[in-house]
């Protein structure tokens, strides 16, 4: 989005919002028509009352009074009907628009690369998707269209007032300049306040989301009181921002009421003199008192509606800024990866998450198709970074990564990831059935394939014992399953997608001995006939690897088979001796 400000910026935001109303152009047209009708109907009732008082009541014409009463009732019924459809369609239009916009925003978010989620608290996009999105609906139901209707109503009322008696009309408007000044001041201040309110809401969402997710850490380290203090401070900031808006409202509305009362007082004073001097009729005076009420009510409500519009504009600005954010893919390749064999080659690869704080330094190696390739090293050596680069979660700064001799940047990202399966140590399961967590709603995977895969992995027996078996809901993050069971399900998921490249990122480190033994044979079946990369903490799980890479501080310090490196002094032998000694002492 262009970095513009003021009215041009507001108009640009409105233009983009109303682009999403194009599919509902007929409903929008009807809504505009109903808005115009409401604006026209507004001044009719006072005029009819004036006519009734001056023509029929003054002449003691009961028959004419009855007729005019019926006309008044019919007018009010018509106004109620029009108001019903206007309220319904403006509200429905807003909901249709935010439905489409929310789908587009979510579709945009899921294309973001990992760096965005690394630097952005999860509460921020949640706020954009939920609470910010809801305020956009108010632009239609309580914002722009209602403001237009109120303005049309004001124009119609003023036109009738000047037509009936221009002198009384001018007296009625004598306080309007003061009202305009108050409204302008209110508008400028409330916009700043609501920018702050949305910021505080986002901070609150971020804090609550993070601390509910990490509640176990808070409780384990007995930090409930400290976190409560932080929450109380953030909540106070949120309260203070809202109280600012309440303060401006508490000033503005009494000012409007005082100015309205002054106008009524001036009308009664001038009108009474006019009645005495027979220059003003009683019906005209009553009508003008009603006109002032009708005049000041939309003026007063305009500020309230402007509030809704400002809230929507602030939220829209944030949402469109997110929509305008690049997804992070430096290049989008077009080459299909469906038939890759799984040869992987790193050529002088340098990578840093930030600036030139290199995590990988001039890394080069080759994995042949069908090989089992293992990577070991201490924490921070760059092991997990390598698999992130193969999945193109990040893009390298120097060097090349080739798959089957083709630069990874040239592959279509979707087709590449279909051929790469990743099993991680921290397994994420959705609050859904086991079956859907395995297939991820892929219709090309049959139920029989899932059952066969579960038998291959050794998970079929425990799944069958669960209520509803494969339809058992694992709840949020698979909380009702053990870590070993969650890991077994992730193995099944990797198996049924039939990848050409399989990556196991410390996939067995969280398993107990029994579970590890269960999937030991299944792992061998899983890695056969495909390229597999195993990042291992337990060296016992990679002894059969075709090649083992040893990483230290982003560099390759050793490579070879287990038997080769165990016979020579080096980092690998030191790691092996430490683990072997620990196992013996245990």
Domain of 210, CATH number, reads: 1.20.1560.10
88 and 221 belong to one structural domain: yes
317 and 355 belong to one structural domain: no
Task: Measure the CA angle with vertex 435, ends 431 and 441; round to 5°.
Answer: 80
Query: What does 484-518 look like in DSSP terms, one character per residue?
Result: HHHHHHHHHHHHHT--SEEEEESTTTT--HHHHHH
pLDDT at 330: 64
How many CB atoms are closer than 10 A to CB 276?
9
How many CB atoms are closer than 10 A to CB 501?
25
361 and 315 belong to one structural domain: no
Q: For 490-500, what is each residue's pLDDT tens digit? A: 888 888 888 88
Residues in the chain: 586
312 and 413 belong to one structural domain: no
Measured CA to CA, the distance from residue 84 to residue 76 in angstroms comes to 12
45 and 144 belong to one structural domain: yes
Q: Whole-number mean pLDDT of the chain?
A: 80
Q: Which pLDDT band, with edges at 50, 70 and 90, does 525 fall under? A: low
402 and 259 belong to one structural domain: no
How many CB atoms are closer than 10 A to CB 214?
12
- pLDDT over threshold 70, residue 418: yes
pLDDT at 448: 86
Nearest to 550 by CA among 567, 536, 530, 563: 536
pLDDT at 1: 41
Q: For 443-483, what is each residue's pLDDT tens digit? A: 788 888 888 888 877 778 888 888 888 888 888 777 777 77
Q: Tell me which of 323, 358, 385 is where a domain ends.
A: 323
- pLDDT over threshold 50, residue 3: no
Residue 134 in any domain: the answer is: yes
Mean pLDDT of 162-176: 83
Q: Tell me which of 274, 291, 323 is where a domain ends.
A: 323
pLDDT at 201: 80
pLDDT at 442: 80
187 and 42 belong to one structural domain: yes
Report strand pairing: 547-552 vs 372-377: parallel
Residue 392 in any domain: the answer is: yes
Nearest to 82 by CA among 35, 141, 48: 35
Residue 260 in any domain: the answer is: yes
- pLDDT over threshold 50, residue 2: no
- pLDDT over threshold 70, residue 331: no
Measured CA to CA, the distance from residue 514 to residue 520 in angstroms comes to 10
196 and 288 belong to one structural domain: yes
Domain hosting residue 350, numbered range: 344-585
**CA dihedral for 468, 469, 474, 480, sign (positive or negative):** positive
351 and 316 belong to one structural domain: no
pLDDT at 507: 61
- pLDDT over threshold 50, residue 4: no
295 and 358 belong to one structural domain: no
72 and 186 belong to one structural domain: yes
**What are the structure tokens assigned to 507, written together?**
């996939």
Residue 289 in any domain: the answer is: yes
Residue 420 in any domain: the answer is: yes
Of 89-98, 130-139, 516-525, give the range with the top mean pLDDT: 89-98
Q: For 186-221, what is each residue's pLDDT tens digit? A: 777 777 787 788 788 878 877 887 777 777 677 766
41 and 131 belong to one structural domain: yes
Residue 328 in any domain: the answer is: no
SS3 554: coil
pLDDT at 208: 80
Domain of 355, CATH number, reads: 3.40.50.300
Measured CA to CA, the distance from residue 201 to residue 191 in angstroms comes to 15
Q: For 52-69, what is each residue's pLDDT tens digit? A: 888 888 778 888 888 888
Q: How many domains does the chain have?
A: 2
- pLDDT over threshold 80, residue 104: yes
Are 434 and 481 contacting, i.e. CB atoms less than 8 angstroms apart? no
Could you give the percent of the chain with pLDDT greater than 70? 90
- pLDDT over threshold 50, residue 5: no
Starting at the edge strand found earlier in the chain, the sheet holding 531-535 runs: 420-424, 501-505, 531-535, 372-377, 547-552, 555-560
Residue 236 in any domain: the answer is: yes
Residue 338 in any domain: the answer is: no
Dihedral over alpha carbons 18, 23, 24, 25 (to 10 degrees): 70
pLDDT at 346: 92
**Is the model more confident about 326 or about 400?**
400
């Amino acid at each position: 989005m262009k970095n513009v400000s003021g009215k041009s910026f507001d108009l640009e935001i409105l233009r983009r919002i109303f682009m999403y109303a194009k599919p509902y152009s007929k409903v929008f047209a009807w809504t505009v028509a109903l808005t115009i009708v409401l604006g026209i109907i507004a001044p009719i009732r006072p005029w009819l009352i004036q006519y009734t008082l001056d023509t029929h009541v003054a002449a003691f014409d009961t028959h004419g009074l009855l007729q005019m009463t019926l006309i008044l009732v019919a007018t009010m019924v018509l106004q109620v009907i029009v108001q019903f459809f206007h309220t319904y369609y403006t509200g429905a239009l807003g909901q249709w628009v935010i439905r489409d916009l929310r789908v587009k925003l979510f579709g945009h978010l899921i294309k973001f690369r990992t760096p965005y989620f690394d630097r952005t608290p999860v509460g921020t996009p949640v706020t954009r998707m939920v609470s910010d999105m809801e305020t956009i609906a108010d632009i239609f139901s309580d914002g722009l269209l209602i403001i237009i209707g109120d303005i049309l109503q004001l124009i119609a009322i003023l036109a009738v007032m000047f037509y009936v008696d221009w002198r009384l009309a001018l007296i009625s408007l004598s306080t309007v300049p003061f009202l305009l000044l108050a409204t302008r001041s209110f508008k400028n201040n409330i916009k700043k306040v609501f920018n702050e309110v949305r910021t505080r809401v986002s901070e609150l969402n971020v804090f609550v989301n993070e601390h509910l997710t990490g509640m176990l850490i808070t409780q384990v380290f007995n930090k409930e009181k400290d976190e409560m203090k932080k929450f109380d401070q953030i909540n106070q900031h949120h309260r203070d921002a809202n109280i600012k808006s309440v303060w401006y409202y508490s000033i503005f509305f009494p000012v409007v009421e005082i100015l309205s009362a002054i106008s009524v007082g001036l009308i009664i004073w001038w009108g009474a003199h006019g009645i005495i001097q027979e220059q003003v009729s009683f019906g005209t005076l009553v009508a003008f008192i009603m006109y002032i009420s009708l005049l000041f009510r939309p003026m007063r409500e305009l500020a309230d509606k402007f509030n809704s519009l400002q809230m929507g504009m602030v939220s829209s600005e944030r949402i469109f800024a997110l929509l305008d954010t690049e997804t992070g893919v430096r290049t989008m390749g077009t080459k299909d990866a469906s038939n890759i064999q799984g040869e992987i080659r790193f050529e002088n690869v340098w990578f840093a998450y930030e600036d030139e704080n290199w995590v990988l330094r001039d890394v080069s190696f080759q994995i042949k198709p069908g090989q089992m390739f293992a990577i070991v090293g201490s924490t921070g050596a760059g092991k997990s970074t390598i698999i992130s680069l193969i999945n193109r979660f990040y893009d390298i700064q120097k060097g090349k990564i080739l798959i089957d001799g083709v630069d990874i940047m040239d592959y279509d990202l979707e087709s590449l990831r279909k051929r790469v399966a990743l099993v991680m140590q921290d397994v994420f399961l959705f609050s859904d059935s086991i079956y859907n967590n395995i297939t991820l709603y892929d219709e090309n995977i049959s139920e029989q394939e899932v059952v066969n895969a579960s038998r291959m992995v050794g998970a079929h027996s425990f799944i069958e014992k669960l209520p509803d078996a494969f339809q058992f809901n694992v709840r949020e993050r698979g909380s009702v399953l053990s870590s070993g069971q969650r890991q077994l399900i992730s193995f099944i998921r990797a198996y049924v997608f039939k990848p050409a490249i399989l990556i196991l990122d410390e996939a067995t480190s969280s398993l107990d001995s029994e579970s590890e033994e269960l999937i030991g044979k299944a792992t061998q079946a899983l890695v056969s006939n495909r390229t597999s990369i195993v990042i291992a903490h337990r060296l016992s799980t990679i002894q059969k690897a075709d090649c083992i890479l040893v990483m230290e501080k982003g560099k390759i310090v050793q490579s070879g088979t287990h038997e080769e490196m165990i016979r020579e002094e080096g980092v690998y032998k030191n790691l092996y001796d430490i683990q072997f000694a620990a196992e013996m002492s245990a």
